[in-house]
Amino acid sequence: MSLRELKKEIESLPSLGKTVADFKKHWLKPIRANTNQHLPFLQQLTAEQKEQLNTLILKAKGVMGNLEEAQLLQNKLRSYIHYLIELKLTALNNNKSKAQLITNHLLNDEFLNLKNTIADIKSFEENVKTLEAHHHEVTEYLEKQITLEQALIFMELPHWRYLQNLLQVTQDHKRIVRDLGRHFVSLAKTSNQNED
């Protein structure tokens, strides 16, 4: 994949902040008298069932807080592709000092360090998988407590789609960072060969 294609792909990634916010908006709120009014059957649960469901819902809420910070990750990817394009241009112009400066910046900068970016992507993936596990746990518990018709209504809500979007973004991030790393190694080698 060329740098141009990679840049387009990074720019076309969905906004993580919006996706997480949409998931939160359509996900269950802890059950109280005035919450989840679009799902009236939740009010028919026993007090014990409501308490158990609230416990499960609150587990997922903590993970969502971690996911809200993931927009920074996409900003890192955008910065990274910008610097790689700049590195390619400097290599083509045979500007050795600027190529060395950009390479050092990408290797040593706390924000843009590739190793840290990979760790951030792994952390994001773990958080999304944890959210998926909590989502599955809540859904499974709820399906045991409500009728089939009510379960179908619950499963048709858009929260499932937003979770799938988050899972897809994790796969996209892994593929993108792999390609960024390959381009970086290739460009760093090219700029080092130009010095010799």
C-alpha distances in angstroms, 82 versus 10, 86, 180? 11, 6, 11
Q: What mean pLDDT is predicted for residues 60-65?
A: 82
Reply yes or no on whether the pLDDT at 36 is more than 90. no
Residue 12 three-state SS: coil
Res 195: pLDDT: 58
Q: What mean pLDDT is predicted for residues 110-137?
A: 91
Give the pLDDT band (50/70/90) at residue 194: low
- The predicted model scores a pTM of 0.86
**DSSP string of 32-92, one letter each residue:** -TTS-TT-GGGGGS-HHHHHHHHHHHHHHHHHHHHHGGGHHHHHHHHHHHHHHHHHHHHHH
Q: What mean pLDDT is predicted for residues 118-135?
A: 93
Q: In whole angstroms, how large is the CA radius of gyration of the chain?
A: 22
Return mean pLDDT, the chain: 88
Q: What is the pLDDT of residues 127-163, one digit of tens each?
A: 999 999 999 999 999 888 888 888 888 888 898 999 9
Q: How far is residue 20's CA from residue 75's CA, in Å, rounded to a whole number? A: 16
User: What is the largest distance, in Å, between two alpha-carbon atoms of the chain?
Assistant: 76
Res 196: pLDDT: 53
